[in-house]
Structure 1
Amino acid sequence: MLLYNNLFRIITLSLILFNGLHVLAGNREEEIYIFAYFKGNGEDGLHLAYSKDGYNWDALKNDESFLQPKLSKDKLMRDPCIIRGGDGLFHMVWTVSWTDKGIGYASSKDLINWSEQQYIPVMRREEGARNCWAPEITYDPNSKNYMIYWATTIPGKFPETQIEAENAYNHRMYCIYTKDFKTYSDTRLLYDPGFNVIDATIAKINDKWIMFLKDETKEPVEKNIKIAYADQLQGPYSKASKPITGNYWAEGPTLTKVGATWLLYFDKYTEHRYGAIASTDLENWKDVSDRINMPNGIRHGTIFKITQKELQKLLIAK
């Protein structure tokens, strides 16, 4: 009888433990993928789409703008990059113009109501700087610094890769640092891979900082995505890898993880559509472009994650 009672208690406790774990698992909030992007030339501002599986995307707010651009003479909002910062806020930077010496910045608690748009004159001290394109933000939790980085052409620098093709653009990656988006460090060169480079995005994976970048070389043609590595966010970064994208022109890479798989999205801009490659080790990549479903007209953007509660607010936004 004693053996029976003990066995009954063990079974009962096991059932309670199983049900408790099941309830906890059921209450775990589902992560939602958000894609921030622009359409056309960026005239109408920020667009957002969401996905529950990382492959199939639906535009939010009937694909209308969430934020209208107000900065620079051109008033554009191209290449939006949004991250969730260490302070819990969403921080966004973007390209304000084809020819300006600064970039745009704004923040939000909910992706619906945004702060006043701020112009950051990142290349004001470079008299000949021609542009500031595709800025991105990466947060370093150790230093609590945000690094903002972008591509700029400064005529006369890096003459070894200067050609007349494509209006003689010859970009390198530059950066600044901030802790509060009020005061900023001086601008410095972040990465010179030995070729014309744009559209970098950086993520920390395990103990390495990994930069995905576009080789913008036209003669001989490259126009592909490559990878560089560093031990620290600020670099120095390694020599760029061989191309990880295929025989097509690709730009604007953005990375996310779905389960155990890394997905790298990019704009196949000459084909007017998006592509994606997948990897479980960041070394061997498989083209999965046929598996993705994107809103019409989507252009160069970034992926980040939000909660189900945050998505519900976006779904009813007007």
Structure 2
Amino acid sequence: MIIGMALSSPAQRRGTNKTKPVYSGYLFTYFTGNDKSKEQICFALSDDGYHFKALNGNQPVLRSTDISETGGVRDPHILRGADGKTFYMVATDMVSAKGWNSNRGLVLMRSSDLIHWTSTAINLQTKYAGQDSLLRVWAPQTTYDAQAKKYMIYFSTKYGHQPDKIVYVYANKDFTDLEGEPKQLFFNPEQAACIDGDIQQKDGKFYLFFKTEDRRPGIKIAVSERLTTGYKMQSNDYVQQTDKPVEGAGTFRLNDGSGYILMYDMYTSGRYQFTKTTDFKTFKAIDEDVSLDFHPRHGTVMPVTAEEMARLRSAW
């Protein structure tokens, strides 16, 4: 089914001498609330990574009923592919009104223009054997595994009375299905629930931001030199710059090279917080520098070119 759009990162290109695109702005993909009418994918644009304006009047750019099994989607993540011109988006296939243990799958989407998308809804309980105790599948994200030369999808799952765990699996070539069975990506030494994983690569290391449910909900970081294994806690410190509950960590590199943004959903406060870092160890809240003309829930940001921004504005 054709419905929308997707992103890819030129830095991941292989075997090409093409000039690297110049990024002029940022695309923010998000959903807006727990009502079914708000569990849909929305887009916003920014020139500088600090000031975002919603596209399409803050109304959905893709209809959840067209792409999902449940009729709702949450937690969208968008990625520019290794070829620099294909975009991949994944989302939780879920309507929260049916209960926090009601969903069993995710949605895979692909696009070549960020406007028109093909999609596949995947139910893990029907795809794999031995899934009777599966309760939920949350917050998928995609990254390119340069060694495997495949797209890796990682997300959290909960089975029975076990804590939520972050697992990974590879997508097939067409990004329409999953290959093999999910494997655990990170083993929390505190045996606490881990959800909302977000991987950022920097200086040859992989940084896994995640929400842990030990003692109080918050965001921590595990680090590895390999994408699929070996993650160790960077410290026991929380990195959010608030004492309010947070979830949905999303990181992106600023186009001017001045650092990285870690943003997260302050889900009980009805707002987002942006923080800035250069080393993934110290984070500074930059609320006074940020403006949004919408109220996002758990979303992600990726860089876009001037041409892509013009295309998005023309479409919505």
Short-chain TM bin: 0.7 to 0.9
Match of 1:244 among 239, 242, 264: 239
Q: Secondary structure at the match of 2:181?
A: coil
Q: Distance in 2 between matches of 1:237 and 1:209?
A: 8
How far has the Cα of 1:236 moved from its partner? 2.0
- Mean alpha-carbon deviation: is it higher for 66-75 or for 133-142? 66-75
Q: Distance in 2 between matches of 1:214 and 1:156?
A: 18
Q: Secondary structure at the match of 1:187?
A: strand
How far has the Cα of 1:282 moved from its partner? 1.4
Which residue is equivalent to 1:167?
none
Matched AA of 1:172 = K
Gaps of 5+ in 2: 1-20, 95-99
How far has the Cα of 1:252 moved from its partner? 0.5
Between Structure 1 and Structure 2, whose CA radius of gyration is higher? 1
Q: Secondary structure at the match of 2:307?
A: helix
More strand by share: 2
How far has the Cα of 1:95 moved from its partner? 0.7
Give TM-score scaled by structure 2 length: 0.82
Which residue is equivalent to 1:93?
90
Which residue is equivalent to 1:16?
none
Residue 72 of structure 2 is aligned to residue 79 of structure 1: no
Which string of whole-angstrom CA distances, capped at 9 and with x for unpartnered residues, describes residues 22-75 of structure 1? xxxxxx844211100011235352100111111110111222211111355531
- The answer (yes or no) to whether the contact 2:23–2:303 under 8 Å persists in 1 is no
Q: Secondary structure at the match of 2:180?
A: coil
Q: Distance in 2 between matches of 1:133 and 1:200?
A: 10
Aligned ranges 1:18-33 → 2 under 5 Å: 29-33=22-26
Q: Distance in 2 between matches of 1:84 and 1:283?
A: 26
Q: Distance in 1 between matches of 2:68 and 2:79?
A: 23
More helix by share: 1
- Mean alpha-carbon deviation: is it higher for 262-271 or for 187-196? 187-196
Provide closer, same or farther for how the CA distance between residues 109 and 72 of structure 1 changes in structure 2, counting only shifts above 3 A.
closer
How far has the Cα of 1:119 moved from its partner? 1.5
Q: Secondary structure at the match of 2:132?
A: coil
Gaps of 5+ in 1: 1-27, 158-169
* Bigger RCO (CA 8 Å, 6+ sep): 2
Q: Distance in 2 between matches of 1:248 and 1:291?
A: 20
Q: Secondary structure at the match of 1:243?
A: coil
Q: Secondary structure at the match of 1:312?
A: helix
Which residue is equivalent to 1:12?
none
Which residue is equivalent to 1:284?
282
Aligned ranges 1:255-266 → 2 under 5 Å: 255-258=251-254, 259-266=257-264
- The answer (yes or no) to whether the contact 1:122–1:176 under 8 Å persists in 2 is no
Provide closer, same or farther for how the CA distance between residues 86 and 107 of structure 1 changes in structure 2, counting only shifts above 3 A.
same
Which residue is equivalent to 2:221?
227
Q: Distance in 1 between matches of 2:199 and 2:124?
A: 19
Q: Distance in 2 between matches of 1:43 and 1:93?
A: 19
How far has the Cα of 1:90 moved from its partner? 0.9
Residue 118 of structure 2 is aligned to residue 148 of structure 1: no
How far has the Cα of 1:212 moved from its partner? 0.5
**For this pair of structures, how many residues does the alignment match?**
275
- Mean alpha-carbon deviation: is it higher for 178-187 or for 129-138? 178-187
Matched AA of 2:155 = W
Q: Distance in 1 between matches of 2:291 and 2:281?
A: 25
Identity %: 30
Which residue is equivalent to 1:254?
250
